[in-house]
Structure 1
Amino acid sequence: MREDYIQHNPLVGQGLTGFKHFFADWFIAVPDWNYTLTKIVAEGDTVWAYGTYSGTQKGDWLGIPATNKSYSITAVDIFRIQDGKLAEHWDVIDVYGLFKQLGVIQ
Protein backbone atom coordinates (compact mmCIF):
# COMPACT_ATOMS: atom_id res chain seq x y z
CA MET A 1 0.00 0.00 0.00
CA ARG A 2 1.29 3.43 -0.91
CA GLU A 3 1.92 5.90 1.89
CA ASP A 4 -0.25 8.43 0.01
CA TYR A 5 -3.13 5.94 -0.43
CA ILE A 6 -6.32 7.83 -1.38
CA GLN A 7 -9.45 6.77 0.48
CA HIS A 8 -12.90 7.72 -0.84
CA ASN A 9 -14.83 6.39 2.16
CA PRO A 10 -15.32 9.39 4.49
CA LEU A 11 -15.17 7.13 7.58
CA VAL A 12 -11.58 6.10 6.82
CA GLY A 13 -8.63 8.45 7.18
CA GLN A 14 -6.28 9.10 4.29
CA GLY A 15 -3.03 7.31 3.64
CA LEU A 16 -1.58 4.14 5.07
CA THR A 17 -1.96 5.53 8.60
CA GLY A 18 -5.69 6.23 8.16
CA PHE A 19 -6.22 2.72 6.82
CA LYS A 20 -4.36 1.13 9.73
CA HIS A 21 -6.30 3.16 12.34
CA PHE A 22 -9.68 2.35 10.81
CA PHE A 23 -9.05 -1.38 10.70
CA ALA A 24 -7.39 -1.47 14.15
CA ASP A 25 -10.53 0.12 15.63
CA TRP A 26 -12.77 -2.30 13.69
CA PHE A 27 -10.77 -5.34 14.84
CA ILE A 28 -10.95 -4.20 18.48
CA ALA A 29 -14.72 -3.54 18.33
CA VAL A 30 -15.41 -6.75 16.40
CA PRO A 31 -12.96 -9.38 17.72
CA ASP A 32 -14.46 -12.13 15.53
CA TRP A 33 -14.17 -9.93 12.40
CA ASN A 34 -14.31 -11.94 9.21
CA TYR A 35 -14.16 -11.24 5.49
CA THR A 36 -15.20 -13.80 2.90
CA LEU A 37 -14.16 -13.06 -0.67
CA THR A 38 -16.83 -14.09 -3.18
CA LYS A 39 -15.40 -12.71 -6.42
CA ILE A 40 -12.40 -10.69 -7.53
CA VAL A 41 -11.93 -9.11 -10.97
CA ALA A 42 -8.90 -7.24 -12.29
CA GLU A 43 -8.71 -5.08 -15.39
CA GLY A 44 -5.85 -2.72 -16.18
CA ASP A 45 -4.92 -0.88 -12.97
CA THR A 46 -8.25 -1.64 -11.23
CA VAL A 47 -9.25 -4.53 -8.97
CA TRP A 48 -12.84 -5.15 -7.83
CA ALA A 49 -13.48 -7.40 -4.82
CA TYR A 50 -16.96 -8.53 -3.82
CA GLY A 51 -17.39 -10.17 -0.45
CA THR A 52 -19.02 -10.33 2.95
CA TYR A 53 -17.91 -8.65 6.15
CA SER A 54 -19.25 -10.23 9.34
CA GLY A 55 -18.73 -10.36 13.07
CA THR A 56 -20.14 -9.42 16.46
CA GLN A 57 -19.90 -5.83 17.69
CA LYS A 58 -18.43 -6.16 21.19
CA GLY A 59 -17.02 -2.62 21.47
CA ASP A 60 -17.82 0.94 20.40
CA TRP A 61 -17.48 1.34 16.64
CA LEU A 62 -18.40 4.06 14.13
CA GLY A 63 -19.83 6.08 17.01
CA ILE A 64 -22.16 3.20 17.92
CA PRO A 65 -21.94 1.87 21.49
CA ALA A 66 -21.33 -1.88 21.77
CA THR A 67 -24.47 -3.82 20.82
CA ASN A 68 -23.23 -7.41 21.20
CA LYS A 69 -25.13 -8.10 17.98
CA SER A 70 -23.82 -9.99 14.99
CA TYR A 71 -23.90 -8.65 11.44
CA SER A 72 -23.18 -9.87 7.94
CA ILE A 73 -23.04 -7.35 5.10
CA THR A 74 -21.92 -7.42 1.51
CA ALA A 75 -19.57 -4.91 -0.06
CA VAL A 76 -17.75 -4.11 -3.27
CA ASP A 77 -14.25 -2.74 -2.75
CA ILE A 78 -12.57 -1.11 -5.75
CA PHE A 79 -8.83 -0.52 -5.74
CA ARG A 80 -6.53 1.31 -8.14
CA ILE A 81 -3.06 -0.18 -8.31
CA GLN A 82 0.04 1.92 -8.97
CA ASP A 83 3.57 0.53 -9.15
CA GLY A 84 2.30 -2.79 -7.73
CA LYS A 85 0.77 -1.19 -4.63
CA LEU A 86 -2.73 -0.16 -3.56
CA ALA A 87 -3.04 3.51 -4.47
CA GLU A 88 -6.74 4.36 -4.20
CA HIS A 89 -9.97 2.84 -2.83
CA TRP A 90 -13.72 3.20 -3.29
CA ASP A 91 -16.42 1.04 -1.76
CA VAL A 92 -20.12 0.29 -1.93
CA ILE A 93 -21.27 -1.18 1.39
CA ASP A 94 -24.68 -2.23 2.71
CA VAL A 95 -24.65 0.36 5.51
CA TYR A 96 -28.46 0.15 5.86
CA GLY A 97 -28.18 -3.60 6.49
CA LEU A 98 -25.35 -3.05 8.98
CA PHE A 99 -27.27 -0.44 10.99
CA LYS A 100 -30.44 -2.55 10.93
CA GLN A 101 -28.62 -5.67 12.15
CA LEU A 102 -26.91 -3.69 14.92
CA GLY A 103 -30.28 -2.23 15.99
CA VAL A 104 -29.30 1.36 15.25
CA ILE A 105 -32.33 1.77 12.95
CA GLN A 106 -35.64 -0.10 12.78
Structure 2
Amino acid sequence: MGLLSILPASFSTVETWLTRIFLVFGLVMIGPWAVLVIYDLILYVFRAVTYAIPVVGGRAQGKARPRAPSLTERPSGHRRRFSLARPKEETGSSTGAVAADAPDARSRHT
Protein backbone atom coordinates (compact mmCIF):
# COMPACT_ATOMS: atom_id res chain seq x y z
CA MET A 1 0.00 0.00 0.00
CA GLY A 2 2.96 2.28 0.48
CA LEU A 3 3.44 3.08 -3.21
CA LEU A 4 -0.20 3.97 -3.94
CA SER A 5 -1.06 5.70 -0.67
CA ILE A 6 -1.15 9.44 -0.06
CA LEU A 7 -1.37 8.90 3.69
CA PRO A 8 1.64 8.68 6.00
CA ALA A 9 3.13 5.25 6.71
CA SER A 10 1.63 5.23 10.21
CA PHE A 11 -1.88 4.90 8.70
CA SER A 12 -1.10 1.84 6.58
CA THR A 13 -2.95 -0.57 8.92
CA VAL A 14 -6.04 1.64 8.99
CA GLU A 15 -5.95 1.92 5.22
CA THR A 16 -5.58 -1.86 4.83
CA TRP A 17 -8.57 -2.55 7.08
CA LEU A 18 -10.69 0.08 5.33
CA THR A 19 -9.86 -1.55 2.02
CA ARG A 20 -10.89 -4.97 3.35
CA ILE A 21 -14.13 -3.60 4.82
CA PHE A 22 -15.12 -1.99 1.53
CA LEU A 23 -14.31 -5.17 -0.38
CA VAL A 24 -16.59 -7.12 1.99
CA PHE A 25 -19.33 -4.50 1.53
CA GLY A 26 -18.93 -4.84 -2.23
CA LEU A 27 -19.32 -8.61 -2.04
CA VAL A 28 -22.37 -8.27 0.20
CA MET A 29 -24.02 -5.92 -2.30
CA ILE A 30 -23.05 -7.70 -5.53
CA GLY A 31 -23.09 -11.28 -4.24
CA PRO A 32 -26.86 -11.93 -4.26
CA TRP A 33 -27.23 -10.45 -7.75
CA ALA A 34 -24.36 -12.54 -9.06
CA VAL A 35 -25.89 -15.69 -7.51
CA LEU A 36 -29.25 -14.95 -9.19
CA VAL A 37 -27.63 -14.37 -12.59
CA ILE A 38 -25.63 -17.60 -12.33
CA TYR A 39 -28.75 -19.52 -11.19
CA ASP A 40 -30.74 -18.13 -14.12
CA LEU A 41 -28.00 -19.11 -16.58
CA ILE A 42 -27.79 -22.65 -15.18
CA LEU A 43 -31.59 -23.03 -15.26
CA TYR A 44 -31.72 -21.82 -18.88
CA VAL A 45 -29.02 -24.27 -19.98
CA PHE A 46 -30.69 -27.13 -18.04
CA ARG A 47 -34.07 -26.50 -19.64
CA ALA A 48 -32.59 -26.12 -23.13
CA VAL A 49 -30.67 -29.40 -22.78
CA THR A 50 -33.49 -31.43 -21.22
CA TYR A 51 -35.93 -30.36 -23.93
CA ALA A 52 -34.04 -32.41 -26.50
CA ILE A 53 -33.49 -35.51 -24.32
CA PRO A 54 -35.89 -38.32 -25.21
CA VAL A 55 -38.34 -39.48 -22.51
CA VAL A 56 -37.48 -36.53 -20.26
CA GLY A 57 -37.81 -33.47 -22.48
CA GLY A 58 -40.84 -31.77 -23.92
CA ARG A 59 -40.11 -32.92 -27.47
CA ALA A 60 -40.48 -36.57 -26.47
CA GLN A 61 -43.82 -35.87 -24.80
CA GLY A 62 -45.26 -34.22 -27.89
CA LYS A 63 -45.26 -30.71 -26.46
CA ALA A 64 -44.53 -27.68 -28.60
CA ARG A 65 -41.83 -25.23 -27.62
CA PRO A 66 -43.14 -22.39 -25.49
CA ARG A 67 -44.11 -19.26 -27.43
CA ALA A 68 -44.24 -15.71 -26.24
CA PRO A 69 -47.81 -14.50 -25.69
CA SER A 70 -49.37 -12.61 -28.57
CA LEU A 71 -51.13 -9.31 -28.08
CA THR A 72 -53.38 -9.81 -31.09
CA GLU A 73 -54.30 -13.50 -30.89
CA ARG A 74 -56.23 -15.28 -28.16
CA PRO A 75 -55.35 -18.81 -27.06
CA SER A 76 -58.49 -20.00 -28.88
CA GLY A 77 -57.03 -18.78 -32.20
CA HIS A 78 -59.43 -15.87 -32.70
CA ARG A 79 -57.96 -12.44 -33.22
CA ARG A 80 -58.55 -9.75 -30.63
CA ARG A 81 -60.35 -6.56 -31.55
CA PHE A 82 -58.99 -3.49 -29.82
CA SER A 83 -61.52 -0.72 -29.36
CA LEU A 84 -62.22 2.07 -26.94
CA ALA A 85 -65.97 1.64 -27.34
CA ARG A 86 -67.81 -0.37 -24.74
CA PRO A 87 -70.31 -2.99 -25.87
CA LYS A 88 -73.95 -2.06 -25.49
CA GLU A 89 -75.33 -3.64 -22.35
CA GLU A 90 -78.93 -4.59 -21.81
CA THR A 91 -80.36 -2.43 -19.07
CA GLY A 92 -83.17 -3.53 -16.84
CA SER A 93 -85.49 -1.15 -15.12
CA SER A 94 -83.98 2.26 -14.58
CA THR A 95 -84.71 4.40 -11.56
CA GLY A 96 -82.77 7.39 -12.85
CA ALA A 97 -84.08 10.31 -14.87
CA VAL A 98 -82.47 9.00 -18.07
CA ALA A 99 -84.78 7.03 -20.31
CA ALA A 100 -83.87 3.38 -20.91
CA ASP A 101 -84.07 3.82 -24.72
CA ALA A 102 -81.62 6.73 -24.83
CA PRO A 103 -78.22 5.72 -26.23
CA ASP A 104 -75.25 5.91 -23.92
CA ALA A 105 -72.93 8.73 -24.97
CA ARG A 106 -69.84 6.67 -24.09
CA SER A 107 -70.49 3.78 -26.44
CA ARG A 108 -70.94 3.48 -30.17
CA HIS A 109 -73.46 1.27 -31.86
CA THR A 110 -71.75 -1.10 -34.26
Whether TM exceeds 0.5 here: the answer is no
TM-score band w.r.t. shorter chain: under 0.3
Comparing both structures, which one devotes a greater share of its residues to helix? 2
- Select the structure with the greater relative contact order (CA < 8 A; seq sep ≥ 6): 1
Q: Which has the larger radius of gyration?
A: 2
Comparing both structures, which one devotes a greater share of its residues to strand? 1
